[in-house]
Amino acid sequence: MKILKTTIGNVEIRNPLILASGILGSTYSSLKRLFHEGLGAVTTKSIGFKPRKGYPNPSVLYLPEIHSIINAVGLANPGCVKFGKELQKIDSDVKLIVSLYASSPEEFVSVIDCIRRYNKKTELLAFELNLSCPHAKRLGIAVGTDPEIVREIVKKVKRTSRIPIWVKLTPNITDITKIGEAAVSAGANALVAINTVKAMLIDIRTKKPILGNIRGGLSGQAIKPVGLRAIYDLYETLGSKIPLIGLGGISKWEDVVEYILAGACAVEIGSAFTNYSSPNILISKLLKGLESYLIHEEVSLEELRGVAHE
Ligand SMILES: Cc1cc2nc3c(=O)[nH]c(=O)nc-3n(C[C@H](O)[C@H](O)[C@H](O)COP(=O)(O)O)c2cc1C
């Protein structure tokens, strides 16, 4: 499937489909399996400096009527020491993106240093800075909605890391392009949009919020138009000078095409995997559909990028 080869800045992957952070990628064997089943690359769940337990249950709820999920997992993760050591177990041919979160520029640098110290083996495709988790206090969105903080984080991280830096943006802001511009001006190598949309649920019997954390983030098909608009806005403002990676609600190949027409050069997929007994069913449907579309339309992915703006 040569036609699906994709370039994100200086990075080349075999196709534009990437596993989104936090979904299915919590063990190294599942990351490896998803890559070997055909994805272009896979992203780990977000890793912080210290281990974190996350929020009390219920923390993940499925909303089948809108093919969506609401979660408040709260960045549960093993911390960078354990993660860095385990990273060495992963096959070197797996194209891996490591997602990171922190509460300050200095802490982001410490997490990267820590992973570098413990992982001497695996060559990473990129670090994805999660500046967008909607429900973790003083983390994620708290640092990702202020252009000055974003600029400072990206600048500091770029100074310490020769690995490409992707910045994952939140849709929970009036103008996503201001944050995108700040990240690009500080040297980000790609922008990823979107993380989940702030949301909640209330039980009408107990008359109380359902999630353990009360508030959470919505993902899945319900948020596709939100993600699409974010990519459209970013492309309109920043043009083709920065690679954009679109995500939010992708469940079929037509969604991938829409994101590319809006301006993305690759996409990430998360919640849709939970609708399949085996991820390879979704991966092969997406790859086949995308390939047939490109052949039928006689266009390359590159030529299709941003065409909705013309
Ligand atoms: C259970 C769950 C856990 C998630 N954990 C993370 C995470 O650790 N880091 C992150 O950047 N995004 C996380 N996300 C957000 C996804 O990566 C993605 O941005 C979002 O779900 C939208 O894509 P989708 O509609 O394809 O799922 C999580 C989403 C879900 C549903």
The answer to whether 23 and 34 have CB atoms below 8 angstroms apart is no
CA of residue 13 to ligand 1 center, whole Å: 21
270 CA distance to ligand 1 centroid (A)? 6
Taking the alpha carbons at both ends of the chain, their separation in whole angstroms is 28
Report the C-alpha gap between 191 and 179 in whole angstroms.
10
Q: pLDDT tens, position by position, for the chain (310 residues)?
A: 789 999 999 999 999 999 999 988 777 888 999 999 999 999 999 999 999 888 889 999 999 999 999 999 888 888 999 888 888 888 888 999 999 999 889 999 999 999 988 877 778 999 999 997 666 555 666 678 999 999 999 999 999 999 999 999 999 999 999 999 999 999 999 999 999 999 999 999 999 999 999 999 999 999 999 999 999 999 999 998 899 999 999 999 999 999 999 999 999 999 999 999 999 999 999 999 999 999 999 999 999 999 999 9
Place of tokens 């800045």: 9
Q: Strand 68-71 relative to strand 96-100: parallel, antiparallel, unpaired?
A: unpaired
What pLDDT does 1 receive?
73
Query: Which domains can be identified in the chain, with CATH numbers?
Result: 2-54+73-195+220-309 (3.20.20.70)
SS3 188: coil
Contact yes or no for 150/186 (Cβ under 8 A)? yes
CA angle, residues 272, 6, 188, in degrees to nearest 5: 85
Region of 25 (left: φ > 0; alpha: ψ -120 to 50; beta: rest) is alpha
Determine the pLDDT at residue 163: 94
Q: Is residue 114 annotated as a catalytic residue, yes or no? A: no
Inter-CA distances, 184 with 150, 178, 243, 305, Å: 10, 10, 10, 19
What pTM did the predictor assign?
A: 0.96
| Residue 297 alpha carbon to ligand 1 centre in Å | 32
Ligand 1 atom with least separation from CA of 20? 17
Kindly give the distance from the C-alpha atom of residue 196 to the centroid of ligand 1, in angstroms, as a whole number.
6
Nearest CA to ligand 1 atom 2: 22
What pLDDT, on a 0 to 100 scale, did the predictor assign at position 238? 97
Candidates 80, 114, 133, 265; catalytic one: 133
Ligand 1 pocket test: pick from 21, 62, 127, 198 the residue with the most ligand atoms within 8 Å of its Cβ. 21
CB 179 within 8 A of CB 242: no
Lining residues, ligand 1, CB within 6 Å: 20-23, 45-46, 60, 69, 71, 73, 75, 99, 130, 168, 195-196, 219-220, 223, 247-250, 269-272
Structure confidence at residue 14 (pLDDT)? 97
Q: Please answer whether residues 195 and 133 qualify as being in contact, where contact means their C-beta atoms are separated by less than 8 angstroms.
A: yes
Tell me whether residue 153 is exposed, middle or buried, using C-beta atoms within 10 angstroms of its C-beta: 0 to 12, 13 to 18, 19 or more.
buried
Please give the pLDDT value at position 86.
84
The whole-angstrom separation of Cα 110 and Cα 79 is 12
